[in-house]
Structure 1
Amino acid sequence: MYIKSTSLIEKDGFTEYCNTKTNFMNLDVGLLKLSKGEKFEFKACGREKAFDLLEGEIEIKINNDINLKFERASLFHDKPSVLLADKTFNIEITCLSEKSELIVQATHNEKEFGYKVWNKDDLEISISGQDQALGTCTRKVIQFFDYESFPESNMVMGEVICSPGQWASWPPHRHYQPEMYLFKFNKPEGFGVSFVGDDAIKVMNNDATCIPGQLLHPTVCAPGYIMWYCWMIPNLPNKPWVERSFDERYEWTSTNDVEISKMR
């Protein structure tokens, strides 16, 4: 399954991509776009919620009591700030810059763990794939939280940045849990290809792919463009995301022992 959402680029307000009532994802995911001075409130609603700032400067008010400020110049060149809050908190977002944009992820969670903030200095960038297939799978990965680092949450969230022509999620892998990728490109005509099982889907700005569990899902970026995506996974009951398995046909590409043409 995939969601083509390119038409959302200029739309202010909250746009829902999926929710726990209508599909298999077991996640609520949406994109919030605000202009200066605009506010948007998320009620507690019995769900934990994560907020990933993509661009702009915002003020976050938690239960009308705690105030936080996040700022991010560019999702391609600047690390994010992230808020995770349990089901008991109302969250109000106010835009302080000319515009701002956030990804909001939520799911059911009966645990009360308060709230947690990951500022830029708390998040590390790891470089993956530089020793795979002559460097054609090199990407930057920022993992915010998962079951191992924050087991109180029922969600996993992070970002990947692919340089021009690079592959991600390689070798092709699968896991029991579903996953969503939400894509951005550094130029409006930029694109990539997201594979979901045997389907190859062209993705552009604000497009998303919803990936059922157990399907392989590599991605690739077109030459000349930077591809960014946010990846989101639910930790299912008694089945948190702690491992993945690779397609054995392609595992050999995990090394640099690949053939190149020597034709003259």
Structure 2
Amino acid sequence: MGTSRSNLIIPPDFSQPEYIHITPASAGWEHLSFSARKMTAGQSWEWDTGENELALVLLGGTCAVQSNRGSWPVLGGRKSVFGGLPHTLFLPPQTRFTVQALSPDVDLAYGWCRAAQEFPARWVRPQDAAVEIRGGGNATRQINKMLPPGFPCSRLVVVEVYTPSGNWSSYPPHKHDEHRTAADGSLLEADLEEIYFYKFDRPEGFAYQRIYTPDRRLDEVMLAQDSHAVLSPEGYHPVVTAPGYPCYYLNMLAGSAQSLAASDDPDFTWVKDTWKEQDPRLPLVTLEMETA
């Protein structure tokens, strides 16, 4: 079965070291860029953040990073996203850096956007990533928060989501495509661009993601397989993963606020009242898991 022809799903191109590459121009939005890259031991990659802030997530393997903002001689350690909690590096604008692969199979993802102000570089270690078990019943999932709302950066938000096999995620469906504030000035909903970047623990694994607006002007269902990226420019965006296949996705977001303020689809909020307990299979990854 082939992937959807939707322009919202980006398949990997493993003929290139940078096998996913998304820019505001290619995505048709304003802020967020995203790439994923494979490296082998001894290889290096250099880049300059320019006017952007950047978050780099080690999906698997180990690397070293040297920059004009500091050096990090060993980042990473988990063999894959299913082997433990993440190492994440936040870099501010005007950072020149070099990544050198230390292990045979380094897999990394990085997202960036133009920064409104500058914050210090920061290494978010596995023990720094807050873990939340969210939802209930067959909509329970694990959230690892690396650059959550409140993190000292300009726009980026970065989290990992683990969904047990057969479960739903990003459910009830929610959206964050308009900037709305309450009378007291508190934020009700942010206008955010979002990328879902998928991994599965077996190569044939898959999930389905629906993206739809309230007026159904946009209403698509996409087949997401390993290393596919899905663009969520607007609308509600729930996910379901196949039985037998735990699903991982990396969420990177940027937009009108460094926030995850969202609104649920009112047709589905009643489901929350039916949840009696959370899925006992969670957490799927922990700090204690072997990362060697």
Say whether 1:43 aligns with 2:39.
no
- Selected match of 1:17 from 17, 21, 24: 21
- 1:207 matched to 2:207? The reply is no
User: Is the contact between residue 11 and residue 33 of structure 1 (CA under 8 Å) also seen in structure 2?
Assistant: no
Aligned residue identity for 1:171 = P
What residue in structure 1 maps to residue 204 of structure 2?
Answer: 189
The offset of 1:161, in angstroms, is 0.5
The ranges of structure 1 where at least 4 consecutive aligned residues each deviate by more than 4 angstroms after the TM superposition are none
Shift of residue 65, structure 1, vs aligned partner? 5.1
Residues 65/128 of structure 1: CA separation in 2 closer, same or farther (3 Å cut): closer
SS in 2 for 1:178: strand
The counterpart of 1:251, out of the listed 247, 269, 272, is 269
**What letter matches 2:222 in structure 1?**
I
Q: CA contact under 8 A between 1:3 and 1:17: conserved in structure 2?
A: no
1:34-73 superposed matches below 5 A: 34-63=39-68, 66-71=71-76, 72-73=78-79
Q: TM-score, normalised by structure 2?
A: 0.80
Say if 1:249 and 1:43 are closer, same or farther in 2 by CA, change over 3 A: same
Inter-CA distance 257–155: structure 2 relative to 1 (3 Å threshold): closer
Give the equivalent residue in structure 1 for 2:237: 217
Match of 1:179 in 2: 194
Secondary structure at 1:255's aligned position in 2? helix
SS state at 1:252 partner? helix
Number of residue pairs the alignment of both structures matches: 248
Q: Which residue number corresponds to residue 160 of structure 1?
A: 161
Letter in structure 2 aligned against 1:120:
P
Match of 1:136 in 2: 138
Give the CA RMSD over aligned residues.
1.8
Contact persistence 2:56–2:109 (CA under 8 A): yes
Distance 1:25-1:223 versus aligned 2 partners, 3 A rule: farther
1:148 alignment partner in structure 2: 150
Query: Is the Cα contact below 8 Å between 1:25 and 1:234 reproduced in 2?
Result: no
1:112, distance to aligned residue in structure 2 (A): 2.0
Q: Check conservation: 2:157, 2:258, Cα contact below 8 A.
A: no
Query: Take 1:257 and 1:37, find their aligned partners in 2: how far apart are those partners?
Result: 49
1:101-143 Cα offsets, whole Å, 9 max, x none, are 110101101422120111011112211113xxxx101111012
Q: Which runs of 5+ in 2 are unaligned?
A: 1-6, 178-191, 213-218, 277-292
Q: Take 1:171 and 1:124, find their aligned partners in 2: how far apart are those partners?
A: 22
Gaps of 5+ in 1: 259-264
CA distance 1:64–1:13, shift in 2 (3 Å)? farther
Partner of 2:280: none
Instruction: State percent identity of aligned pairs.
Output: 25
Q: Distance in 1 between matches of 2:261 and 2:117?
A: 23
Contact residue 183 and residue 207 of structure 1 kept, 8 A: yes
Judge conservation of contact 2:90–2:121 (CA < 8 Å) in 1: yes
Partner of 1:31: 36
- Note the C-alpha offset of 1:97: 0.5
- Shifted more, 180-189 versus 105-114: the winner is 105-114
- Match of 1:262? none
Do the aligned partners of 2:154 and 2:258 also contact (CA within 8 Å) in 1?
A: no
Inter-partner Cα distance in structure 1 for 2:121 and 2:70: 13
